[in-house]
Amino acid sequence: MNALASPRSAAAPSTAASLAGRVAVVTGAAGGIGAAICEGLAAAGATVAAGYNGSREAAESLAARLSVTSGQRHAALRAPVTDSAALATLAADVQARWDRCDILVNCAGTTRFVPHADLDGLDDALFDQILQTNVRGPFAAVRALAPLLRASGAGLVVNISSIAAVTAMGSNVAYCASKAAVDNLTRSLARALAPEIRVLSVSPGLADTDFVKQMDADWRDEQAGRTPLRRLAQPAEVAAAVLAAAVHLTFSTGAVIPVDGGRPLQ
């Protein structure tokens, strides 16, 4: 079994689903999934603000590449999701540049591998960092950009979650708890912000990013073997789900969209 095999369904999202004139802010844009989401949104016509924290050069390179391939003026903007003041600055910058924000994708996240039985290994500092980044971060980003999203007339928030929220299997106990909280946050905000803003979760299984490709090949193949579709998720497939939420699922809110190959079925 080869976890890195390219599936037929991992093609880039179709540009037939046009987001021309829309502005999308993506936090955690420099990561493998974040970059794929930015590429998918730009290919569909959206102007993208590639949000970064510590990966400025990667985000700027991404924005420059998107600008060349799409002919639009994208930008890399600082978006540290644990800093509410910086997020307020981000919102002001987005308004000054484009005078609108139609889509917010909360993709920034953090974790570290700690065996679930190793309670001492999951220290308070790591636990707090995970919750602050993965749970408070998306809420803070929504809070900062809510006025622009409301003014859009068709505002959309997509929170990138994980099947760890359902399976309780993941990099550590706190990470699993954080993603369960993200899905609950999605439902709460969908109710609170309707009808002006829709809120959805996209919930991938293990995605075949560059980070995952650096891990032990036998481990990756084992993870793929535990999935009914017998492979890992491709970042472009996660991006396609975000694009579907923006373009096709216009009467959906408060829902969790799985992109997991049926992993919870095993």
**DSSP H or E segment with residue 197:** strand 197-204
| Active-site pick, 138, 144, 175, 202 | 175
- Please give the angle made by the CA atoms of 41, 46 and 51, to the nearest 5 degrees: 70
Q: How far is CA 32 from CA 17, 92, 151, in A?
A: 22, 27, 30
CA distance 257 to 195: 20
Q: How far is CA 128 from CA 74, 82, 134, 183, in A?
A: 33, 11, 10, 18
Instruction: Reply yes or no on whether 52 is catalytic.
Output: no
Query: Would you say 195 and 250 are in contact if contact means Cβ atoms under 8 Å apart?
Result: no
Give catalytic residues, as residue numbers. 175
